[in-house]
Amino acid sequence: MIKNGKFFEYKGCLHIHTTESDGTKTLEEVADIASDVGLDYILISDHMTLKSRNEGKEGFYNKTLVLIGYEHNDSEDCNHYLLFNTGRVLGDTLTPQEYVAEGRRQGALGIIAHPDEIRPRLGKYPSYPWLAWDAVGFDGIEIWNQMSEWMENLKPYNKVKMVFSPRRFMRSPTGRILQKWDDLNMIRKVAGLGAVDVHGFPYRIGPIRITIFPYKVQFKSLRTHVLLTEELSQNLERARDQIYGAIRDCRIFVSNYRWGDAAGFEFLAGDKDNYITGGGTIPISKNILLSARTPEKGSIRLICNSHEVARVDGDSFQFQPVKKGIYRIEVYKKEKGWIFSNHIRIGL
Ligand SMILES: [Zn+2]
Ligand SMILES: [Zn+2]
């Protein structure tokens, strides 16, 4: 945890598989790795099972809070959806519209997984995009899924390099998904998260057997930082509400740790005594200032209603918004995506 202005910032990873489904390490092993790497929290989501949660395995492992949800799919194994804060796996014959609505009705936190996945060169491994955009009641979407990006960019000539240094080739969320996410936010708040989607699969190239995405490497890539208004409670029930509440409220930002530790990143609207961050709404007025600060220099871009309205190379930035809209920040290092804020809503 670090203190970030008036907030308490916690960094973590989500969309993690264990041996309860198709992951290769047990929950306890995964929790140990997360704690070694210094993550404050992780969110586990095995396919169609809450066994670990129902065995009472949620809780603190050293300093890392481990929370357990699951990944739902429809009867054709499509439309993957992460559900947290629920004790029961929903029926496997429900349509995506039905499991999104039912999750909401039960007070679960629902996040659409790898929504815009394309796997152009992997005929025998189909992609699993989200197709049910008319579903009502999801809280967030993965704007950046490491597995999806890797699969989409895999080409015959770069295969060996991609296998040996998977993080080096990461660029940014796709333009497609950022557009979709902005469109959704024009109507209502929808959180944007970064997901590692880690399984730790072994892979064979000729005689060599390697794990392309070991858990430890993945935990040093896409992170979702949550900003709490109070310190994380040691009480499990309370801590769960704090983490899920911040995600639902979009008080989060996404970073790729490969390009630097983004802890301490700020994106604020207001004045020095009274301000909001991503997820907040503020009326439009002459005195409003949007400001951003990054822990290291980068190319900071302000996006309003899907259009870039300002760009600064440096580590801080201020802007006086004159029109209503949804504002967010993207920070790049050498054209590689580093930090993505959630939206601040002005005059909406
Ligand atoms: Zn999936
Ligand atoms: Zn998954």
pLDDT digits (tens, 9 = 90+) for 178-215: 999 999 999 999 999 999 998 887 766 666 777 778 89
C-alpha distances (whole Å) from 177 to each of 70, 94, 156, 174, 339 are: 23, 25, 25, 5, 15
CA of 238 from ligand 2 middle (Å) equals 26
Q: Which residues pair with 300 in a beta bridge?
A: 312, 331
CA of 255 from ligand 2 middle (Å) equals 19
Considering every ligand atom shown, identify the ligand nearest to the alpha carbon of residue 197 and give its number: 2
Q: Which residues contact 167 (CB under 8 A, 6 or more apart)?
A: 217, 220, 221, 256, 258
Q: Which residues contact 248 (CB under 8 A, 6 or more apart)?
A: 109, 139, 140, 191
Please identify which residue in the block is written with the tokens 């009472």.
Answer: 56
Domains of the chain plus CATH, in order, are 2-259 (3.20.20.140), 266-346 (2.60.40)
CA of 77 from ligand 2 middle (Å) equals 11
Considering every ligand atom shown, identify the ligand nearest to the alpha carbon of residue 130 and give its number: 1
pLDDT of residue 204: 65
For the segment 314-325, the average pLDDT, to the nearest whole number, is 95
Pair type for strands 281-282 and 344-346: parallel
Q: Which residues pair with 293 in a beta bridge?
A: 266, 316
Q: How many Cβ atoms from other residues are within 10 Å of residue 7's Cβ?
A: 19
Beta carbons of 108 and 68 less than 8 angstroms apart: no
| Core vs surface per residue 203-220: b (16+ CB within 10 A) or e | eeeeeeeeebbbbebbbb
Considering every ligand atom shown, identify the ligand nearest to the alpha carbon of residue 81 and give its number: 1
pLDDT of residue 259: 95
Write out the chain in H/E/C secondary structure. CEEECCEEEEEEEEEECCCCCCCCCCHHHHHHHHHHHCCCEEEEEEECCCHHHHCCCCEEECCEEEEEEEEECCCCCCCCEEEECCCCCCCCCCCHHHHHHHHHHCCCEEEECCCCCCCCCCCCCCCCCCCCCCCCCCCEEEEEEHHHHHHHHCCHHHHHHHHHCHHHHCCCCCHHHHHHHHHHHHHCCCEEEEECCECCCEEEECCEEEECCCHHHHCCCEEEEEEECCCCCCCHHHHHHHHHHHHHCCCEEEEEHHHCCCCCCEEEEECCCCEECCCCEECCCCCCEEEEEEEEEEEEEEEECCEEEEEEEEEEEEECCCCCEEEEEEEEECCEEEEEECCEEECC
Spell out which residues have Cβ within 5 A of ligand 2, the ion: 71, 197
pLDDT digits (tens, 9 = 90+) for 153-179: 777 777 667 666 666 677 899 999 999
pLDDT digits (tens, 9 = 90+) for 208-239: 777 778 899 999 999 999 999 999 999 999 99
Considering every ligand atom shown, identify the ligand nearest to the alpha carbon of residue 196 and give its number: 2
pLDDT of residue 124: 64
pLDDT digits (tens, 9 = 90+) for 264-299: 999 999 987 789 999 999 998 888 899 999 999 999
Instruction: Give the residue among 144, 82, 186, 191 at the shortest CA–CA distance from 339.
Output: 144
pLDDT digits (tens, 9 = 90+) for 87-146: 999 999 999 999 999 999 999 999 999 998 887 655 667 788 999 999 999 999 999 988
Beta carbons of 54 and 235 less than 8 angstroms apart: no
Sign of CA dihedral 115, 11, 72, 18: positive
CA of 91 from ligand 2 middle (Å) equals 18
CA of 155 from ligand 2 middle (Å) equals 22
Give the predicted TM-score (pTM) of the model. Answer: 0.94
CA of 72 from ligand 1 middle (Å) equals 8
